[in-house]
Structures are given as C-alpha cells and as structure tokens.
Chain A
Amino acid sequence: AQSVSQHNHHVILSEAASLELGCNYSYGGTVNLFWYVQYPGQHLQLLLKYFSGDPLVKGIKGFEAEFIKSKFSFNLRKPSVQWSDTAEYFCAVNAGWGGATNKLIFGTGTLLAVQP
C-alpha cells in the first residue's frame, strides 16, 4: 500500500531562516507528487506539484521541491521564510495516472511556526 512519511511534525524557525521539510513515499511506480499548505483559518491550497520532467519544481511564494526518485523523496524548501509562511504543510502522492481513480495519499503534516 502506498504511504507518505513526513519526518518533522513541528518546526519552529526565525524569519529569514532556511526551510527544508522532508517527505518520503513508498511506491515503486510512476507517481505524481504534491505539497499542499493550510494557513491558519484557511482551506488546503496547492503549493506545488510534480508530474514529470525537471525534478526541481517551483511553486508559489518562493517554495520549491526536488523529486529524487532513487530516494523516494520530495522535500520542500524555501531559502528564507517569512512570518506569513506559518502554516501546516502536507505532502501527498498520487500513484499512477491514466486511471479513473486518482486519490491523494497524504502525509501527517508538518506544523511550521515562523517567529518574527
């Protein structure tokens, strides 16, 4: 069965610090990978996604993620965080495409708190 692991449950950073959130998945075939973000009081929003091609994908608000197939990883990065990045971040995987069912398997989430 597919699964997604997020190693950091809570992360506290100061503004301008660099961010890297880990995400590993278990599935040997073709995958689509996503990072979603949930700001306080708001709904889940897509941050970035990887389907194919360049393994380094750029998303909104200066976020990027790198797909490393050999490590089954899709870590999220940002060089310099801001207070407004305080949110919960979810990694998700969808295994295979072209089929009728495309459910997302989510990790447990990482709560990021950025201190001003």
Chain B
Amino acid sequence: EAGVAQSPRYKIIEKRQSVAFWCNPISGHATLYWYQQILGQGPKLLIQFQNNGVVDDSQLPKDRFSAERLKGVDSTLKIQPAKLEDSAVYLCASSTEAGTGLYEQYFGPGTRLTVT
C-alpha cells in the first residue's frame, strides 16, 4: 500500500513570502492531520480534517496559516506571510477514521521549511 505523500520535501523562502505544502493521504483514509515539528520538539497538531470538514484547528495560527482539503482527499497547507519562527518540518498524517479508539496515524516524510 502506498504511504502518505508530501511535496515539496524541502523549501527555503524569505520572511514575508508565502509557501504551500501538499499532502496526499493513504487511499481510503478519511482523516488527515497536519503537524508542525520545530527542531528539538515533538510534532504539534495544527489541523485535523475528517473527510473535507475541519475537526480541530485550535492550534492553527489562523492569521497566517490556512489549510483546505477539497473533495476529502488531497490537502494543502499554506503560510502567508511566513515568519522566521515558522521554520520547521511540516508533517502530514492520515488514519482510517478518528473516534474509534483503534486508529493508527500514518505519517508522510514531511516538508522541511527554512525561513530566512
């Protein structure tokens, strides 16, 4: 079974520029997650989708971050404008569903963003 795909793998931008990340979850997985992992820290959930609806975006900095999951499959995460503190690895994960207590999240390789 193909895993979670993410692109690009690396991105370097200057502060105040915009950037977008793409994620394709495992086929059939209804739930999709975006995490931010800052160097030296564990991943932190930014947003969770169930199909194409948002379940949890409580930790998403909505003044600069946005995410969408059209048609309940692929997802994009955008940052506009970027700040130096946004430098991190952005991880996408998917699971069959949330709420059953028996799910497992499968992670993609991540996109390493450097803001200069």
Known: A43-B108, A43-B109, A45-B107. A99 touches B45 (CB 8 A): no
Q: Give the residues from 57 to 110 in chain B that come closer than 8 angstroms, CB to CB, to chain A.
A: 91, 93, 95, 98-110
Asked if A98 and B101 make an inter-chain contact with CB atoms under 8 angstroms apart, the answer reads yes
Q: Which of B41, B43, B50 has the most CB of A within 10 A?
A: B43
The complex places the Cα of A97 from the Cα of B110 at a distance, in Å, of 26
Query: Please, which residues of chain B bring their CB within 8 A of the CB of A36?
Result: 107
Known: A100-B98, A100-B99, A103-B56. A108 touches B40 (CB 8 A): yes
- The listed residue (B40, B42, B55, B100) touching A101 by CB distance below 8 A is B55
- The listed residue (B45, B50, B102, B106) touching A104 by CB distance below 8 A is B45
Q: Is B33 an interface residue (CB 8 A)?
A: yes
A: interface residue count bin: 20 to 34
Q: Is B48 an interface residue (CB 8 A)?
A: yes
The complex places the Cα of A103 from the Cα of B105 at a distance, in Å, of 10
Q: Which B residues are closer than 8 A to A by beta carbons? A: 3-4, 31, 33, 40-45, 48, 50, 55-56, 91, 93, 95, 98-110
